[in-house]
Amino acid sequence: MVRAFFTSSWCFASPSTVAGAVAVVARLTGCAAGGVPTLVAAGWLEGEAVGALAQPAASAATTTADKVVLIGFKRILPALQWRAVIRAIWLAYRSPRQSDTLNRMARDLKADLETLSKVLGLAQQRDFERAADLAATTLRSGFEHPVLLNVMATRLELHGKFEESLALLERAVAIAPRDIGARNALSLCLQRLERPAEALHHSDELLRQNPELAFAHATRGNALIALGELAQARASLERALELEPGNLAAIVALASIATHRGDHGVARRWAEQALAKVPGLPDAVLSLAAAELAAGEYSQAERLLQGLILDSRAGRLDKARASGLLGDVLDATGRYAEAFAAYAACNGSLREFHRRYESEPSMLDHTRALIESLGRVDPRHWQAPASVTDESSEARLHVFLTGFPRSGTTLLEVVLDGHPQVATSEENEFLHEAVLRFLREPFDWQALALAGESELAPLRTAYWAAVRRAGIEVRGKVFIDKHPLHTLKLPVIARLFPCAKILFARRDPRDVVLGCFRRRFLMNPAVYRFLDLREAADFYALTMEFATQARPLFPLEWFDVRYESLVADLPGGSREICRFLELEWLPELERFAERAQASNHATPSTAQLARGLDRGRAGQWLNYAAALEPILPVLMPWVRRFGYELSPAFTATSPGTPGSSSCSDPAAEKNPGPLDGS
């Protein structure tokens, strides 16, 4: 299926909604066009503008097909495509994967050909309702073909029913595994549902079968951006441009990569190139607006984003992303109430789009269950001496960097990554096998506490095997496994790696929760809770409660890093951390901005860090104090415990965490120092 291939990423989490009617034409002609036709279908291009975008093709055969597709949706299929339609139906009759109904019926080839041509004609006219109705009727008659399933899936996506569309596309791929349109449409739908790892699988399979498909390389590049793998994404997108110069999907995705890296000059050039071809194209508008924001051209950035929000052609997620970035523009101009309203509008749209997470077990309930289960384990079981020889590790020292999202873990990682004796994980998940073994519901930490070495050793081996598969060289180095929510896996870490050290990032809880609410992450059950301010606060408080209860149970060396202190005195703070990690301090650690810009992995902090230290980011919550007031009773116990100043206007004394009967009073513990190692 040929659709527009918009960016999916950490900061801009979802690709745009576009129609896929031309998938039929592209598949049946063998055309490898890269997204322009569907811009016509979605209304971004009409009339003569389409012809102006046609690019010379590599061969006469491709040229013919490209011209057929690029002329738009007003023309009748020429003879070349009638032959392709007939061939496709003939293959459907011969396919060993025919539906049971088709096997029982004697089909009328001429009638099926006429029906399929009607479906194609309606799709060309952008009449997706009638095209899909006819496709559904034809499917019920026993003629099951990936084109028909694809057309029905397109209508469902236009109505925002992506899960239902996914089921149809999975069926299309099941009956026709080599169908280019069906598999590409499936990859794009999975990206739309923010399941980029699965999308990448289908893009890779498509390219294994058809390595010269430019649009498939672009689709793959977007999936990799969503996974934060910027270097691999760039390679795929550049390959798309080699195969098809001017590929619009690749151009806008390269703009997005530059935006992630904070290279706004490059992003501007790519975005302007895309907008010259397709005015108003959402991803290009977003990259250009981000460049204007970085340059201090706030009114221009606001104008671009307001225009996208009001554009009737823009999809719901395009408008959500524009609202989120508009919040940043308004924040930069000191219009904090308007900025918060923009963030809330963005999150409200995202919550509606991802409402399937409401039917899944909540991360809040998950964390409460972890706390409750931890309290049922005899502490002596955790304290049992462990004579463990980690034979699978080649690292000189093993460190877990954790805390909570937006607490400063990325800053710590990129600073330490400047040391030649350090290897970092870039937020990969290597504890997968252990999590599957010990974190299944219903939770029971007792099994982990009593697990013997014969059970733990294979999981330790699986961890290091995953590290090697990620291409990380740890031999003789300090290996830092950074993941903010590894906090909830501390018992697993302690049992598998009792000699590991913990770097725990701390930041003012009010800034942490506000940051989670304002920033866009790749959607998952934990991130979904950040879209609601109260749920974000509850999740933070529960996670800190779990860390508080878990910490004294395990004989792990632990070092608390206070974000504000590190930013205020990076040389002094990094020296203390190096001593804890048994490393010599080097001045290269301070030159982290260049490394952030060149990073091959994207997080919401990457572009910010590429600009260097921003000491003004501490205490940002004060600008939003009125909006945060309802959640302050949840956060104030942790504000006190971590030694942050109280707001003069706030005097609440509630020490508990809502919904958790096992919470102790955090105010009873001594406030830790700025960089308090233990």
* Closest-CA residue to 74 (of 35, 47, 113): 47
Amino acid in position 522: L
Return the pLDDT at 388. Answer: 62
| Interacting residues of 595 by C-beta distance below 8 A, sequence separation 6+ | 414, 417, 418
Name the 3-class secondary structure at 34: coil
Q: Is the pLDDT of residue 209 over 80?
A: yes
Return the pLDDT at 107. Answer: 67
Could you give the CA distance from residue 395 to residue 399 in angstroms, rounded to a whole number?
10
Q: How confident is residue 426, by pLDDT bands cut at 50, 70 and 90?
A: confident
Whether residue 73 contacts residue 124, with contact meaning beta carbons closer than 8 Å, is answered with yes
Q: Is the pLDDT of residue 663 over 50?
A: no
State mean pLDDT over 68-82: 30
Q: Is the pLDDT of residue 312 over 60?
A: yes
Could you give the CA distance from residue 240 to residue 91 in angstroms, rounded to a whole number?
29
State mean pLDDT over 423-427: 86
Task: Express each pLDDT in 359-378 by its tens digit.
Answer: 888 899 999 999 999 999 98
Q: Who wins on pLDDT, 171 or 678? A: 171
Kindly provide the residue ranges of all beta strands, DSSP E only, lying in 281-421, ordered along the sequence: 397-402
* Closest-CA residue to 421 (of 478, 365, 342, 383): 478
Return the pLDDT at 613. Answer: 67
Return the pLDDT at 260. Answer: 86
Question: In the CATH scheme, what is the code of domain 363-668?
Answer: 3.40.50.300
Q: Is the pLDDT of residue 295 over 70?
A: yes
Return the pLDDT at 3. Answer: 30
Q: Is the pLDDT of residue 633 over 80?
A: yes
Return the pLDDT at 15. Answer: 32
Q: Who wins on pLDDT, 338 or 94? A: 338
**In percent, how much of the chain has pLDDT > 70?**
75
Q: Is the pLDDT of residue 677 over 50?
A: no
Ranges 157-161, 272-276, 428-432: which has the least confidence: 157-161
How many CB atoms neighbour CB 476 within 10 A? 11
Ranges 303-307, 398-402, 440-444, 550-554: which has the least confidence: 440-444
Ranges 23-37, 261-275, 357-371: which has the least confidence: 23-37
Could you give the CA distance from residue 651 to residue 632 in angstroms, rounded to a whole number?
10
| Interacting residues of 428 by C-beta distance below 8 A, sequence separation 6+ | 466, 467, 470, 483
Ranges 241-255, 275-289, 504-518, 604-618: which has the least confidence: 604-618
Ranges 201-215, 535-549, 616-630: which has the least confidence: 616-630
- Mark out the alpha helices in 95-213 (DSSP H runs): 100-104, 109-124, 128-140, 146-158, 162-175, 180-192, 196-209
> What would the two tokens of residue 460 be?
């330790």
Domain 262-353 CATH superfamily = Tetratricopeptide repeat domain (1.25.40.10)
Task: Express each pLDDT in 240-249 by its tens digit.
Answer: 999 999 999 9
Our CA dihedral for 492, 493, 496, 500, rounded to 10 degrees, sits at -170
Task: Express each pLDDT in 127-154 by its tens digit.
Answer: 889 999 999 999 998 888 888 999 999 8
Q: How confident is residue 342, by pLDDT bands cut at 50, 70 and 90?
A: very high
Return the pLDDT at 241. Answer: 96
Could you give the CA distance from residue 311 to residue 315 in angstroms, rounded to a whole number?
9
State mean pLDDT over 591-602: 67
Ranges 51-55, 91-95, 114-118: which has the least confidence: 51-55
Q: How confident is residue 313, by pLDDT bands cut at 50, 70 and 90?
A: confident
* Closest-CA residue to 426 (of 10, 68, 51): 10
Task: Express each pLDDT in 378-420 by its tens digit.
Answer: 888 887 555 566 666 789 999 999 999 999 998 899 899 899 9
Return the pLDDT at 544. Answer: 98
Domain boundaries, the chain: 1-244, 262-353, 363-668
Order of strands across the sheet that contains 501-506: 422-424, 478-482, 397-402, 501-506, 557-562
Ranges 75-79, 299-303, 511-515: which has the least confidence: 75-79
Return the pLDDT at 647. Answer: 61
* Cα dist from 518 to 32, 203, 406, 410, whole Å: 39, 31, 10, 17
Could you give the CA distance from residue 352 to residue 358 in angstroms, rounded to a whole number?
10
Q: How confident is residue 159, by pLDDT bands cut at 50, 70 and 90?
A: confident
398: left (phi over 0), alpha (psi -120 to 50) or beta: beta
Angle between helices 214-226 and 196-209 (to 10 degrees): 160
Q: Is the pLDDT of residue 68 over 60?
A: no
Q: Is the pLDDT of residue 160 over 60?
A: yes
> What would the two tokens of residue 340 be?
């918060």
Task: Express each pLDDT in 275-294 by its tens digit.
Answer: 999 999 999 999 999 999 99
Q: To which residue do tokens 């501007």 refer?
A: 268
pLDDT, mean over the chain? 79
Question: In the CATH scheme, what is the code of domain 1-244?
Answer: 1.25.40.10
Q: Is the pLDDT of residue 339 over 70?
A: yes
Task: Express each pLDDT in 162-178 by its tens digit.
Answer: 889 999 999 999 999 99
> What would the two tokens of residue 189 be?
């739908």
* Closest-CA residue to 561 (of 669, 406, 412, 414): 412
Return the pLDDT at 596. Answer: 65
Q: How confident is residue 57, by pLDDT bands cut at 50, 70 and 90?
A: very low
Same fold, 1-244 and 262-353: yes
Could you give the CA distance from residue 318 to residue 351 in angstroms, rounded to a whole number?
14
- Mark out the alpha helices in 398-552 (DSSP H runs): 409-416, 432-438, 445-449, 453-469, 490-496, 509-518, 525-528, 533-550
* Cα dist from 559 to 266, 285, 582, whole Å: 39, 43, 13
Ranges 7-21, 478-492, 625-639: which has the least confidence: 7-21
Cis? peptide before 442, omega within 30° of 0: yes
Task: Express each pLDDT in 564-576 by its tens digit.
Answer: 999 999 999 999 9
